[in-house]
């Protein structure tokens, strides 16, 4: 599947094996979530990844939130 999310990212099979990533980078939404979950601040990440902007982090978090909103739990 090819596409975009929140104007900041993309998901295409030929880039990062189709995982959602920030446009123009190989930084995946998953990486951003993991870094923040492990205690990294937004400022630290901007220093570590100069291609990453505040808007990119926000877009990644919004994308993850929307994915969870669509999640459906089916009782077994």
Q: What is the pLDDT of residue 6?
A: 61
pTM as predicted: 0.78
Residue 57 covered by a domain: yes
**Which residues of the chain have a pLDDT value below 70?**
1-8, 13
Q: How far apart are the first and last CA of the chain?
A: 29
Q: Where residue 30 sits, what CATH number does that domain have?
A: 1.10.10.10
Contact in structure between 56 and 43 (CB atoms under 8 Å)? no
Number of domains in the chain: 1
From the number of C-beta atoms within 10 Å of its C-beta (0-12, 13-18, 19+), residue 49 rates as middle
Residue 17 lies in a domain: yes
């Amino acid at each position: 599947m090819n596409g975009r999310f929140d104007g900041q990212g993309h998901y295409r099979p030929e880039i990062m094996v189709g995982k959602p990533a920030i446009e123009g980078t190989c930084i995946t939404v998953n990486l951003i979530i993991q870094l923040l979950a492990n205690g990294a601040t937004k400022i630290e990440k901007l220093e570590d990844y100069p291609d990453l902007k505040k808007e990119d982090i926000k877009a990644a978090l919004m994308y993850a939130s929307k994915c969870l909103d669509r999640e459906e739990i089916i009782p077994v």
